[in-house]
Amino acid sequence: ANFHLKYILNKKGERSNMAVKQFKAESKKLLDLMINSIYSNKEIFLRELISNASDAIDKLYFKSLTDHSVTTKKEDYKIFLALDKDSRTITLTDNGIGMTKEELEKNLGTIARSGSFDFKAENKAEDIDIIGQFGVGFYSAFMVASRVTVISRAFGSEEAWKWESKGAEGYTITQTEKDEPGTQIILVVKESTEKENYDEFLDEYNLVRIVKKYSDYVRYPIEMYREKSRQKEKPADAGEDYEPEYESYTELETLNSMVPLWKRAKKDVADEEYNQFYKDKFYDYTDPARVIVSRTEGTATYNALLFVPGRAPYNYYTREYEKGLQLYASGVLIMEKCADLLPDYFSFVKGVVDSQDLSLNISREMLQQDGQLKLIRGSLEKKIKNELNAMKNNEREKYDEFFKNFGRQLKFGCYADYGMNAELLKDLLLFYSAKEKKLITLAEYLEKMPGEQKYIYYAAGESADRLAKLPAAELVLEKGFDLLLLTEDVDEFCLQVLRHYGEKDKEKEFKNISGGELGLETEEEKKAAQEASEASKPLFDAMKEALGDKVTDVRISTRLKSHPVCISSEGPLSLEMEKVLGSMPGAEGEMAPKSQKVLELNGEHPVFAKLKALQEAGDKETLGRYADILYNQALLIEGLPIEDPVAYAQAVCELMK
């Protein structure tokens, strides 16, 4: 249910009233979940109202950039919080853009009327933060309030209106008076019951805590008159036995630090704050695997707060997934998802970038051209790479986990764009080692390589278990050499693009164990095989003729022990790559690229003697049929499709007769 819920949430993405409608249609069960979640986290109502207030101020501030009739000075924008225990009210006032009568009706009239407010669920569900993702933000006020009054005056209007509601039954709107544009929201806090304690929201300390917890980075001051106590001045004539006296007074205090998290030094921020920020902002319920804080000055001036998610989003490897970072210009959000800030291979990174060098009113098209943005992108890319490297070196278990989530993307990145980024990414890659039975880096493979080993060996296919049992795999492992078992379709393409790995002039080539010579044979073995091949040249020629362009060569094998035949490949395309490419949409049949196949025969096998006898007897027809059967067998062993299964079956039956 969790997963499913997340799916629907993410699909909608932004908060909108549309999402609520969608949700209701989706299923009653999900609605229950949502209500439960609302119950378990009532205190977020304040965050929702403060965010609305801050948005409303943003709107007026934006307007002031072009509209000179806005006279509010930048430093005068504020949100004011007041608490009155006697009347059980919390009042939140902003001097933002305000709402007209129509807007009050439209914005606040929807759910209250729909009756989805009879919160009645009993059991608590997972603590998923749903409210922020649906358009129920404002309505969360009803979780703690028995009555909500909204008094608002829209900027540019002389009229003020009062919206009032007790929840489910509906609302009223009446005309009222208000001196300044903006909105005031008055909550009458519910009476506590045996089960639920609402009085806690009338506790000043608690309220301040809630503001700090959720709204610390709101850019506008959230002010409140706080009750304080101080020692009275000692009277001049106080005697020896004077006892200090205290008096209480009120003082206006700004509750939030306002400086966004990404502008604060890493040492001043607790891990938990980063994690919470990530989860709130990017709708994840798992802590990030890594937090990247980057502050740069010089050619590209920016603050970035990036996160490597702790798990892959459900749609990560689909077209639906959109990469991008939130882009701010001097603390003002200008783009929700700026794709140009991230290369595809780091598309899993989430986060915020804030730069003072960008103009507020820059358009999407202009951003793409923006030189500053390109500099930032380059700098972020380096930073992300370094952080991943650090994680690999210092927190290997975590990195393994990361790689399971996003390694595929790094491998794609290696291979994409003709390997343009392979250099940058190669040290971040992990592959499964047959010897160590775990993921290792290419550098680690090289480190443990015996002096006489010429290649970095790998086998590619669907199952690691099966790959490790291939005859050639056994040969390699018997020699004490390690073997990388590649089971993802992108793996081999990635290595092909890299071609080799290692220090300059000491690079080792990658070698697919089912392609060509393995470099394992001694000189004598090689010579013997060559001699045997030459001695059987007429046989091989006859078989090649029979098989036509299916194979480029027929020869004696050095990698076969008990089996009569196998297929290997020559040239750039391996058998596994042929399979992967052939399974891609649009590449089936004739269009599919083919590898150059070599039919290898076991010279020690009785079948070989039989073939030889046929050739010597000049029975071309039978030899041709046998060659065909052996070729198809070899394909089957490799897990490759055979061209004409019916003809193959008939040929085998023919033998049985």
CB under 6 A: which stretch of 89-97, 430-438, 516-524, 634-642 binds ligand ADP? 89-97
Q: Which of 46, 81, 99, 565 binds ligand ADP (CB under 6 A)?
A: 99
The least distance separating ligand ADP from the CB of residue 239, rounded to whole angstroms, comes to: 56
Instruction: Pick between residue 153 and residue 511 the one whose CB is nearest to ligand ADP.
Output: 153
Strand, helix or coil for residue 430: coil
Task: Sort residue 596 into left (φ over 0), alpha (ψ -120 to 50) or beta.
Answer: beta
Residue type, 243: E
Per-residue DSSP letter, 115: T
The Cα 505–Cα 632 span in angstroms is 41
The CA distance from 180 to 533, in Å, is 98
Question: Which of residues 46, 81, 137, 375 is near ligand ADP by CB under 6 A?
Answer: 137
Q: Print the binding letters for residues 397-426 with ligand ADP: x by CB under 6 A, - otherwise.
A: ------------------------------
Residues 168-207 that bind ligand ADP (CB under 6 A): 183
Cα–Cα distance between 463 and 121 in angstroms, integer? 47
CA nearest to 138, candidates 161, 114, 167:
167
94 lies in the site for ligand ADP, by CB under 6 A: yes
Regarding 514 and contact with ligand ADP (CB under 6 A), the answer is no
Report the residue number whose CB is nearest to ligand ADP.
137
Backbone angles phi, psi at 156, to 5 degrees: 90, 0
Helix, strand, coil in percent for the chain, rounding step 5:
45, 20, 35
Name the nearest CA neighbour of 510 among 573, 438, 458.
458
Q: Does 96 bind ligand ADP (CB under 6 A)?
A: yes
CB of residue 140 vs ligand ADP: minimum separation in angstroms? 8
60, 101, 130, 135: residue in contact with ligand ADP (rule CB under 6 A)? 135
The two structure tokens encoding residue 473: 């795999």
20 binds ligand ADP (CB under 6 A): no
Closest distance between ligand ADP and the C-beta of residue 98, in Å? 6
34 is a contact residue toward ligand ADP (CB under 6 A) = no
Question: For residues 181 and 288, which CB has a smaller minimum distance to ligand ADP in the complex?
Answer: 181
Q: What angle do CA 196, 202, 205 make, to 5 degrees?
A: 110
Q: 18 or 617: whose CB is closer to ligand ADP?
A: 18
The yes or no reply on residue 133 touching ligand ADP (CB under 6 A) is no
Residue 432 neighbours by CB distance under 10 Å: 20
- 107, 176, 552, 622: which one contacts ligand ADP (CB under 6 A)? 107
| CA–CA distances in Å: residue 483 to residues 464, 469, 480, 505 | 11, 12, 10, 22
Within positions 41 to 60, which residues make up the interface with ligand ADP, using CB under 6 A? 48, 52-53, 56
Q: How far is CA 70 from the centre of its chain?
A: 42
Smallest separation, CB 8 to ligand ADP (Å): 17
Q: Closer to ligand ADP at the Cβ: 108 or 470?
A: 108
Q: Near ligand ADP by CB under 6 A, which window of 27-35, 83-91, 97-105, 327-335?
A: 97-105
Q: Which is nearer to ligand ADP, 210 or 391 (CB)?
A: 210
In the complex, the smallest distance separating the C-beta of residue 187 from ligand ADP, rounded to whole angstroms, is 13
The contacts of residue 636 (CB under 8 Å, 6+ apart) are 642
The partner residues of 524 in beta bridges, in order of sequence, read none
Stretch that binds ligand ADP, among 94-102, 253-261, 266-274, 277-285 (CB under 6 A): 94-102
Residue appearing with tokens 């009532």: 42
Residue whose CB is less far from ligand ADP, 104 or 289: 104
User: Where are the extended beta strands (E) located within 297-420?
Assistant: 302-308, 325-329, 332-338, 350-355
- Which of 45, 117, 138, 214 forms a contact with ligand ADP (CB under 6 A)? 138
Give the whole-angstrom CA distance, residue 295 versus residue 302: 6
Query: Residue 222: what are its φ and ψ, rounded to 5°?
Result: -105, 110
Q: Which two tokens stand for residue 347?
A: 């598309």
Minimum distance from residue 429 beta carbon to ligand ADP (Å):
42
Is there binding between residue 15 and ligand ADP (CB under 6 A)? yes
- Residues engaged in binding ligand ADP (CB under 6 A): 15, 48, 52-53, 56, 94, 96-99, 107-108, 135, 137-138, 183
